[in-house]
Amino acid sequence: MIVVPRKDKVVKSILKTLLVCAAVFALAGFLAAQTTSPQTFPVFNPPPCDFNDTFYNVNGIDVNKLDQPAAGRFGIFRKQGPPSPDGGNNWTNDSTCSINNPDTTDVRILATTAGYPDDGSKTHTDFISLIAFVLDQSFFLQNFTLAEGDNTVTIANGLNPRGFSMQSIAGNFEAYAALKQILPGGTFAPTPCGTMGNGTTPCFPVTSVATPQLRQDWRFASNRNAIDGSSGGASTPFGYFCDDILGMWILTYFWYTDAGFGPHQTTQCNQMLAALASINGISLDGTPIIKTADELNFLEGSKVGTNPIPGFSGSSPPKPGCTAEGQEDVGGADQGAVWVICPTILDPQNGAIAPDAFLDAVRKPNGSFLDPGFQKQFNCLQTTGQFCPPTT
Amino acid sequence: MTSRESRTNRRDFIRLATAAAAFGPFFLFPDRALASQQTLKIAKWTHFVPEFDPWFESAAKEWGKQHDSKVIVDHIPVEQISARAAAEVKAGKGHDVFIFPWPPAEYQEHVIDHSEIYQTVAFKYGNVHRLGHRSTFNPKIRKYFAFCDSWMPAPLHYFADYWGEVGMALGPLHYNSLRSGGKRLRDKLGVPCGLALAPTLEGNITTHTLLYGFGGGVLGADGNLMIDTARTTEALKYVKLLYQDSGTPEQLTWGPAGNVRAMLARKSSCTINAISLLRVAEKQDPELAKKIMIQPPLIGFSGVFGLPHVTNCSVVWNFAQNQEAAKQIVADLVDNSKTAYEKSKGCNFPTHQKTVPDLVVRLQNDPQATPPWKYNALKDALHWTANIGYPGFSDPVTMEVFNSFIIQRMFLSVAKGERSPEDAGDTATAEVKRIADKWKHAGGENGPS
């Protein structure tokens, strides 16, 4: 038997639907207005927020570890202070976060950390949210089960339902951190303290990657994937935006060696560094800024297919190397970050850079940005919702 | 019945005589019958899993029965493979099929072009994968100098309980942690890190892996020297420190499978090896096997990077007496890849993935392993394993360097303190250059540019 609704009931139903829709749009507008001042461009990319505890757990991260002070998780710790340069907030509460993305908490990230992409372009287009630091292997969950409706998500023996561990996924994506090597007294330290170093002094500390500790801006391998071969070398079986959905990185620290800079600098390194500085500028230490993988690999003594430094063939790298790189002890012996949770903003256009977000990039002593290109791009994104036109 | 009926008449006699003439000699002269049967001689490296070789031999002989051939399989210890192959080439005679555990590129002039075998197999199972192709093809002369049917990944094996004592229960992950954690582990438990550095296949694979892991190599993709860079020096410095901080003098003198025996005796905390190590442990001491975990190779300069412990390469000599049968058995044995995988206890990964289509499922739930997902760490092995000779192909120079143990000796001399990293690098560079020049001048197009 077919029940034909009475006409007035149908009308009432339509009206009810319209009212609900209007209410939803009004609420959405209200919530959007809470987090952003009026933006004159299409806004459809929500700004970044911290993931919720469940999302961390189902992706293999122990939230109890993450909520320790040393991990510095946004939403609990580091509300003020670095990276905020002026005592402002690094994050704020925002009820739209979990509406836009149910996998997040209502903690919206204001500190927008800048970096060079690892594609060799030297562009100022990577922006990330440095949410928390992962200090040792105990942060990786071995077992977790979430029953939700008819579905169960299980982390068993450290492996996600696809059979991968978070540690192995994150190990494919490197964030390159450049810590200051000029110590407070003005001495150049050619080696890191801790397990990455050669045990000599002076050494530079590796316990913090907060922006004031950096000599230059980051470089992120967010472009890596196996499909187009961008991973280079032996293929990366994972894609950053496909598999690394927490946006985790393993930190690769890179530094200038004894031969590269300081009193024992070799003539070869001296010439190469001068040439690199002429195109990339210099860091807070007075060393050249390194923006690409080829530049770093070449200075480390590896033959590369390009000629990354003007006047020098890529097939004739320095020997000994002018730079070196390494990762911290995964057992936590270095007391610094081995991994970081800092997802790259997939598309920083059209609202992802909120009006109240601020740029977190390396600054000179006078407060200006070391690489003004990041500021320019950030401002374009924040005010127009688009990257700057290529000509500007 | 009359007596006449029982007699043989003339016609019957002729008939019998004709039949005897036609069939008789085979029964009367069995030696002559065998002489007409072709003989196929196969030389094969002795597999690490003892159960594999008897199966292989029976499979080969069964093939012989079906093809009216007598198949002889000689098992040769890995450490004698090079000498035996060289002797056969020098003599211009020997086995019809010679199966190497590495790409035998230096014999490219003495073998047939194996393209035909690859084509035959491709009709059934598709193309060989990248690792197999780059291990057996010389793009300069456009010749497949061998046929690769399987390979063995070489993951890092480690005792989870030992490494858990220094906060690394999930394994050391990268080279720095191997050294720093290995030092703490030896200091705390007295157990050294057991990478093989002696002149064995394990030592050769380990030291090549280290060299590549630090961004070094023998030749570049352009065929020019790559060993002469600072990356080689860095790899050598690392091994010196690794040995000082967490090593043992025994690792400098281990014989074949010495690293495996040390692990089985719980005398080392980790090593690089094929999973035959774990398979032996599972059979001999299941409780010990439970404690051994594997992980992909350590993260280094070039990310996660490893080399195959074994690249199973068959060649048909161009002086083989029985080339057609040799080609056929090499192609036909691919039909047995699934059984080969099983008989090798999961060591022999196929180069034609359709032959073991459920490989990943098997790795995820292995009946012998505890926990059963232990071998899951190998499911990306094809991504992180490159051919010997990377970033180029496995060419004659690279393989002669490999079989001359130049890289292994370079590392060993530094670990022993006989040479500085710089001196050892320079010495090895000179040796590699000599080999490269030799191939360039003697081989013309056969050598690298």
- Asked whether A118 and A221 are in contact (CB, 8 A), the reply is yes
Nearest residue, CB atoms, A137 vs list B167, B228, B384: B167
A331 vs B230: CB contact, 8 Å cut-off? no
B28 within a domain of the structure (yes/no)? no
Contacts of A320 in chain B (CB under 8 A): 230, 233
CA separation for the pair A219, A68 (Å, rounded): 27
The chain A residue lying nearest B375, using CA atoms, is: A163
CB atoms within 10 A of CB A146: 13
B173 touches chain A (CB under 8 A): yes
A168 vs B303: CB contact, 8 Å cut-off? no
A328 touches chain B (CB under 8 A): yes
CATH code for the domain of B235: 3.40.190.10
B104 touches chain A (CB under 8 A): no
B79 within a domain of the structure (yes/no)? yes
pLDDT at B394: 97
A315 vs B302: CB contact, 8 Å cut-off? no
B181 vs A163: CB contact, 8 Å cut-off? no
B14 within a domain of the structure (yes/no)? no
Tens digit of each residue's pLDDT (9 = 90 or more) over A160-213 = 888 889 998 998 899 999 999 999 999 999 999 999 999 999 999 999 999 999
Confidence of residue A159 (pLDDT cuts 50, 70, 90): confident
* 3-class secondary structure per residue, chain A: CCCCCCHHHHHHHHHHHHHHHHHHHHHHHHHHHHHCCCCCCCCCCCCCEEECHHHHHHCCECHHHHCCHHHCCECCECCCCCCCCCCCCCEEECCCHHHHCCCEEEEEECEEEEEEECCCCCCCCEEECCCEEECCHHHECCCEEEEECCEEEEEECCECCCCCEHHHHHCCCEEEECECCECCCCCECCEECHHHCCCCCCEECCCCCCHHHECCCEEECCCCCCCCCCCCCCCCCCCHHHHCCCCEEEEEEEEECCCCCCCCCCHHHHHHHHHHHHHHCECCCCCECCCCHHHHHHHCCCCCCCCCCCCCCCCCCCCCCCEEEECCCCCCCCCCCCEEECCECCCCCCCCCCCCCEEECCECCCCCECCHHHHHHHHHHHHHCCCCCCCC
CA separation for the pair B116, A110 (Å, rounded): 63
The residue from B343, B364, B385 where one domain ends is: B364
A301 vs B233: CB contact, 8 Å cut-off? yes
CA separation for the pair B161, B143 (Å, rounded): 48
Confidence of residue A284 (pLDDT cuts 50, 70, 90): very high
B220 vs A303: CB contact, 8 Å cut-off? yes
B25 within a domain of the structure (yes/no)? no
CA separation for the pair B215, B298 (Å, rounded): 13
Tens digit of each residue's pLDDT (9 = 90 or more) over A84-131 = 988 899 999 999 999 999 999 999 999 999 999 988 899 999 999 999
B176 vs A195: CB contact, 8 Å cut-off? yes
Residue environment code for A155-179, b if the CB has 16+ CB neighbours within 10 A, otherwise e:
beebbbeeebbbbbbbbbbbbbbbb
Contacts of B303 in chain A (CB under 8 A): 172, 174, 231-234, 236
Task: Indicate whether B142 and B162 sit together in one domain.
Answer: no
Range 184-223 of A in CB contact (< 8 A) with B: 195-196, 198
pLDDT at A35: 47
Instruction: Kindly report whether the peptide bond that precedes residue B372 is cis, defined as omega within 30 degrees of 0.
Output: no
Q: Tell me: pLDDT of A274 over 60.
A: yes
Contacts of B301 in chain A (CB under 8 A): 297, 300, 302, 325
Residue in the block written with tokens 């019998």: B16
**Domain count across chain B:** 2
B384 vs A234: CB contact, 8 Å cut-off? yes
Nearest residue, CB atoms, A330 vs list B172, B385, B386: B172
pLDDT at A25: 42
- Asked whether B165 and B188 are in contact (CB, 8 A), the reply is yes
A330 touches chain B (CB under 8 A): yes
The chain B residue lying nearest A225, using CA atoms, is: B383
Q: In chain A, where are the structural domains located?
A: 41-384
The chain A residue lying nearest B221, using CA atoms, is: A305
Nearest residue, CB atoms, B305 vs list A165, A234, A331: A234
Tokens of A250: 């393993």
The chain B residue lying nearest A140, using CA atoms, is: B170
> Residue B40: beta bridge partners?
B71
pLDDT at A244: 85
Task: Indicate whether B272 and B259 sit together in one domain.
Answer: yes
Nearest residue, CB atoms, B303 vs list A234, A328, A332: A234
A171 vs B304: CB contact, 8 Å cut-off? yes
pLDDT at B186: 98
Q: Is B254 left (phi over 0), alpha (psi -120 to 50) or beta?
A: beta
pLDDT at B10: 54
Going by their DSSP bridges, the two strands B69-76 and B97-100 should be labelled as unpaired
B16 within a domain of the structure (yes/no)? no
- Asked whether B209 and B272 are in contact (CB, 8 A), the reply is yes
Task: Indicate whether B377 and B403 sit together in one domain.
Answer: yes
Contacts of A198 in chain B (CB under 8 A): 241
Contacts of A297 in chain B (CB under 8 A): 215, 301
Interface size, chain A vs chain B, as Cβ–Cβ contacts under 8 Å? 132
A331 vs B180: CB contact, 8 Å cut-off? yes
CA distances from A328 to A157, A178, B176 (A): 24, 13, 7
Interface residue of B130, B165, B177, B218 to substitute, partner A, most A CBs within 10 Å = B177
Contacts of B246 in chain A (CB under 8 A): none
CA distances from A76 to A59, B43, B169 (A): 20, 67, 29
A172 touches chain B (CB under 8 A): yes
Domain span at B334 = 33-152+309-364
How far off is chain B from A389, nearest CA to CA, in Å?
35
Nearest residue, CB atoms, B230 vs list A250, A320, A329: A320
pLDDT at A271: 98
Cα B427 to chain centroid, rounded: 28
* Residue B78, phi then psi, degrees to nearest 5: -55, -40
Task: Indicate whether B373 and B421 sit together in one domain.
Answer: yes
Residues in CB range of B323: below 8 A, 6 or more apart: B96, B112, B316
Instruction: Kindly report whether the peptide bond that precedes residue A48 is cis, defined as omega within 30 degrees of 0.
Output: no
CB atoms within 10 A of CB A59: 21
Tokens of B108: 């490219």
Task: Indicate whether B184 and B298 sit together in one domain.
Answer: yes
Going by their DSSP bridges, the two strands A104-109 and A248-256 should be labelled as unpaired
CA separation for the pair B352, A55 (Å, rounded): 38
Task: Indicate whether B419 and B313 sit together in one domain.
Answer: no
Task: Indicate whether B163 and B295 sit together in one domain.
Answer: yes
CB atoms within 10 A of CB B301: 23
Cα A107 to chain centroid, rounded: 17
CA separation for the pair A209, A359 (Å, rounded): 16
Task: Indicate whether B84 and B210 sit together in one domain.
Answer: no
Please state the rounded mean pLDDT for residues A338-342: 96
Closest CA to A177 of A123, A252, A282, A288: A252
* 3-class secondary structure per residue, chain B: CCHHHHCCCHHHHHHHHHHHHHHHHHHHCHHHHHHHCEEEEEEEECCCCCCHHHHHHHHHHHHHHHCCEEEEEEEECHHHHHHHHHHHHHHCCCCCEEEECCCCHHHHHHECCCHHHHHHHHHHHCCCCHHHHHHHEECCCCEECCEEEEEECCCEEEEHHHHHCCCCCCCCCEHHHHHHHHHHHHHHHCCCCCCCCCCCHHHHHHHHHHHHHCCCCCECCCCCECCCCHHHHHHHHHHHHHHHHHCCHHHHCCCCCHHHHHHHCCCCCEEECCCHHHHHHHHHCHHHHHHEEEECCCEECCEECECCCEEEEEEEECCCCCHHHHHHHHHHHHHHHHHHHHHCCCCCEECCHHHCCCHHHHHHCCCCCCCCCHHHHHCCHHHHECCCCCCCCCCHHHHHHHHCCHHHHHHHHHHCCCCCHHHHHHHHHHHHHHHHHHHHHHHHHHCCC
A227 touches chain B (CB under 8 A): no
Nearest residue, CB atoms, B177 vs list A234, A319, A331: A331
Q: Could you tell me the maximum CA-CA distance found in chain B, to the nearest angstrom?
A: 105
CA separation for the pair A88, A74 (Å, rounded): 14
Tens digit of each residue's pLDDT (9 = 90 or more) over A343-392 = 999 999 999 999 999 999 999 999 999 999 999 999 999 999 999 998 65
Angle at A51 between CA A160 and CA A48, to 5 degrees: 130
Task: Indicate whether B147 and B271 sit together in one domain.
Answer: no
* Residue B73, phi then psi, degrees to nearest 5: -115, 125
CA separation for the pair A289, B18 (Å, rounded): 96
How far off is chain B from A287, nearest CA to CA, in Å?
20
Task: Indicate whether B274 and B198 sit together in one domain.
Answer: yes
* Residue A28, phi then psi, degrees to nearest 5: -60, -45
Please state the rounded mean pLDDT for residues A222-228: 66
Closest CA to B331 of B152, B102, B148, B151: B148
B7 within a domain of the structure (yes/no)? no
CA separation for the pair B25, B23 (Å, rounded): 6
Task: Indicate whether B39 and B121 sit together in one domain.
Answer: yes
Contacts of B390 in chain A (CB under 8 A): 234
Per-residue pLDDT of chain B (449 residues; tens, 9 = 90+): 334 344 445 555 555 555 544 444 433 333 444 556 899 999 999 999 999 999 999 999 999 999 999 999 999 999 999 999 999 999 999 999 999 999 999 999 999 999 999 999 999 999 999 999 999 999 999 999 999 999 999 999 999 999 999 999 999 999 999 999 999 999 999 999 999 999 999 999 999 999 999 999 999 998 999 999 999 999 999 999 999 999 999 999 999 999 999 999 999 999 999 999 999 999 999 999 999 999 999 999 978 899 999 999 999 999 999 999 999 999 999 999 999 999 999 999 999 999 999 999 999 999 999 999 999 999 989 989 999 999 999 999 999 999 999 999 999 999 999 999 999 999 999 999 999 999 988 654 444 44
B418 touches chain A (CB under 8 A): no
B230 vs A302: CB contact, 8 Å cut-off? yes
B364 vs A138: CB contact, 8 Å cut-off? no
A324 touches chain B (CB under 8 A): yes
Task: Indicate whether B281 and B303 sit together in one domain.
Answer: yes
B10 within a domain of the structure (yes/no)? no
How far off is chain B from A330, nearest CA to CA, in Å?
6
The chain B residue lying nearest A320, using CA atoms, is: B230
